[in-house]
Structure 1
Amino acid sequence: MEFGQRLRSLRKERKLTSKQLGEKFKLAESTISGYETGARKPDIELVKSFAHFFEVSTDYILGESNEREKEKKNINSAFHDYENITEEEKDYLDLQLEIFRKMKEKNK
């Protein structure tokens, strides 16, 4: 499955129209349609934003993997082993979680 097909599938899972998705990203409905049909290609930053919004890995949204939550599994492994990591590592994970939450709130 290619990026456009994945984007359309993820959008429909969330029960969003292409217009609604475009509004969330400040993009025209025709731009979203162009991505979904393959007529247009998003830049890497937008791909990352879509992946974060849909809570999937960039590999998944690009069609390179069928594992939707690859990144989450790695994060879950880190938290599973949370008591065995250094204070510096804990601070880093806390900062990354804070950044993620701010990005998620911004994309609502």
Structure 2
Amino acid sequence: MTDNIIGRNIKSLRGQRNMTQEQLAQKMYMKRQTLSNYEVGKRMPDIFELWAMADIFEVSLDEIAGRGTPCAKKRDCKR
């Protein structure tokens, strides 16, 4: 996966909602380390996990995938 836009967007959306990795992981019924791996680009969430995150964050899949999001460009997203 090049550029890890999905992971950065997950981290950004989580941060905008003042959620910890642990809090989001609990809502997703997954381990915190799994979520961390998504955010740093070691793993990629499947489509069902992306749908669940979109529902939790109340955004579209396009926003998580980097189409028209605040993190669409590297400089727009905190690392």
For the superposition of Structure 1 and Structure 2, which TM-score range results when normalised by the shorter chain? Answer: 0.7 to 0.9
Aligned to 2:76: none
Tell me the TM-score normalized by structure 2: 0.78
Show structure 1 runs of 4+ deviating over 6 A: none
Aligned to 2:59: 56
- Paired residues, what number? 67
- How far the C-alpha of 1:65 sits from its partner, in A, is 2.5
The structural deviation recorded for 1:66 is 2.6
Give the share of equivalent positions with the same residue, in percent: 39
TM-score, normalisation: structure 1: 0.58
What's the C-alpha RMSD, in Å, of the aligned pairs? Answer: 1.5
Give the gaps of 5 or more residues in structure 1.
68-108
Structure 2 residues not aligned, in runs of 5+: 71-79
Tell me the equivalent position of 2:77.
Answer: none
Residue 56 of structure 1 aligns to a residue in which SS?
coil
The answer to which structure, 1 or 2, has the higher relative contact order (CA under 8 A, 6+ apart) is 2
Where does 1:11-26 land on structure 2 (aligned, <5 Å)?
11-26=14-29
Secondary structure, aligned partner of 1:27: coil
CA deviations 1:44-96 (Å, max 9, x no partner) are: 011011111101110110112338xxxxxxxxxxxxxxxxxxxxxxxxxxxxx
Query: Does residue 35 of structure 2 align to residue 41 of structure 1?
Result: no
Indicate the structure with greater helix content: 1
- In the TM superposition, what is the alpha-carbon distance from 1:3 to its structure 2 partner? 0.5
